[in-house]
């Protein structure tokens, strides 16, 4: 395989991988589970300076559905809350205070527990619809890029030995098929995750049936986006 075709295949693969990365990133921001990538767009303004969340807070994940955010400086707690709310207003927030009961002089440590919204039926339907929309957009990008590359290489193939042109076509086809397979796999994983979260909601809802004072979790869904990250793949 000549160097030009090898370069083109590598570039083609990078583009297709980028579309799948964006697809996966957008799905993590649906926040069915507590995914670390969902916090990437969060910035915190302290003393007129913007910081990434991890620069001003320690991020713990007690379970698959919860973030526990500890400010590195207690004075920045409200700024951290504001920064997270700007990106993920759908998170359920609970202020926590830790204190060493064996030391009366110990400082109280305040932190924030964020829980992902429960997936009730309405939320499940919207999550599924949104995920499938993201999937269609990803597939369309994969198909368009594949078509554009093959059209551009038509003349190049005519100037190559037949066996090398055939080898190049096979190489491009493998990259394209692998990318489409990955896209389908990402879709399946997300739909399975949504369904599992819905079944979890049903189980916990059944446990609440005997408690009429238990609050419903029927808030409207908010989907978070990060325009700067998405622009990297456009």
What digits encode the pLDDT tens for the residues 38-77?
999 999 999 999 999 999 999 999 999 999 999 999 999 9
* Co-location of 96 and 132 in the same domain: no
* Co-location of 18 and 125 in the same domain: yes
What was the pLDDT predicted at 182? 98
pLDDT band, residue 218 (cuts 50/70/90): very low
* Co-location of 132 and 218 in the same domain: yes
* Co-location of 168 and 207 in the same domain: yes
**Three-state SS at 92:** strand
CATH code, 104: 3.30.1360.40
What was the pLDDT predicted at 233? 46
Which of 115, 140, 170 is a domain's end point? 115
If one counts every other C-beta atom within 10 angstroms of the C-beta of residue 234, the result is 9
* Co-location of 100 and 46 in the same domain: yes
* Co-location of 175 and 205 in the same domain: yes
Over range 5-16, report the average pLDDT. Answer: 95
pLDDT at 223 over 80: no
* Co-location of 105 and 138 in the same domain: no
* Co-location of 27 and 74 in the same domain: no
Over range 157-166, report the average pLDDT. Answer: 90
Give percent above pLDDT 90 in the chain.
77
pLDDT band, residue 4 (cuts 50/70/90): confident
Per-residue tokens: 196: 């599992």
Domains held by the chain: number:
2
pLDDT digits (tens, 9 = 90+) for 69-100: 999 999 999 999 999 999 999 999 999 999 87
Residues whose CB is less than 8 angstroms from the CB of residue 150 and which lie 6 or more positions away in sequence, other chains included: 172
pLDDT at 209 over 70: no
Listed residue (144, 170, 163, 164) closest to 4, CA to CA: 164
If one counts every other C-beta atom within 10 angstroms of the C-beta of residue 101, the result is 7
What was the pLDDT predicted at 194? 96
Which of 115, 149, 174 is a domain's end point? 115
Query: CB–CB of 2/160 below 8 Å?
Result: yes
pLDDT band, residue 108 (cuts 50/70/90): confident
Per-residue tokens: 44: 């915190």
Which of 67, 90, 115 is a domain's end point? 115
* Co-location of 133 and 225 in the same domain: yes
pLDDT at 219 over 90: no
* Co-location of 126 and 63 in the same domain: no
- Residue 97 domain boundaries: 36-115
Query: CB–CB of 146/176 below 8 Å?
Result: yes
Q: Work out the burial of residue 30: count CB atoms within 10 Å of its CB; fewer than 13 is exposed, 13-18 middle, 19 or more buried.
A: buried
Q: How far is C-alpha 120 from the geometric centre of its chain's CA atoms?
A: 20
Over range 1-6, report the average pLDDT. Answer: 83
pTM to 2 decimal places: 0.79
Q: Work out the burial of residue 226: count CB atoms within 10 Å of its CB; fewer than 13 is exposed, 13-18 middle, 19 or more buried.
A: middle
CATH code, 140: 1.10.132.20
* Co-location of 7 and 76 in the same domain: no
Residues whose CB is less than 8 angstroms from the CB of residue 34 and which lie 6 or more positions away in sequence, other chains included: 61, 63, 64, 65, 66, 67, 114, 116
Per-residue tokens: 47: 């003393």
What was the pLDDT predicted at 232? 45
* Co-location of 127 and 227 in the same domain: yes
pLDDT band, residue 210 (cuts 50/70/90): low
Average of per-residue pLDDT values in the chain = 89
């Amino acid at each position: 395989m000549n160097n030009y075709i090898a370069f083109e295949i590598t570039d083609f693969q990078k583009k297709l991988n980028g579309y799948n990365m964006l697809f996966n990133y957008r799905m993590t921001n649906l926040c069915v589970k507590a995914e670390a990538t969902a916090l990437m767009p969060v910035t915190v303004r302290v003393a007129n300076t913007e910081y990434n969340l991890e620069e001003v807070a320690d991020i713990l994940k007690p379970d698959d559905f919860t973030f526990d955010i500890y400010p590195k400086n207690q004075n920045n707690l409200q700024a951290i809350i504001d920064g997270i709310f700007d990106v993920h207003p759908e998170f359920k927030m609970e202020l926590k205070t830790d204190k060493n009961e064996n030391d009366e002089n110990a400082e109280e440590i305040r932190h924030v527990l964020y829980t992902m919204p429960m997936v009730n039926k309405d939320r499940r339907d919207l999550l599924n619809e949104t995920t499938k929309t993201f999937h269609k957009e990803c597939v369309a990008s994969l198909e368009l890029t594949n078509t554009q590359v093959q059209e551009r290489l038509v003349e190049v193939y005519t100037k190559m030995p037949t066996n090398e042109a055939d080898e190049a076509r096979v190489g491009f086809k493998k990259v394209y098929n692998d990318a489409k397979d990955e896209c389908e796999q990402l879709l399946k994983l997300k739909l399975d995750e949504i369904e599992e979260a819905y079944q979890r909601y049903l189980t916990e809802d059944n446990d609440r049936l005997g408690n009429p004072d238990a609050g419903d979790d029927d808030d409207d869904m908010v989907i978070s986006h990060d325009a700067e990250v998405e622009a990297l793949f456009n």
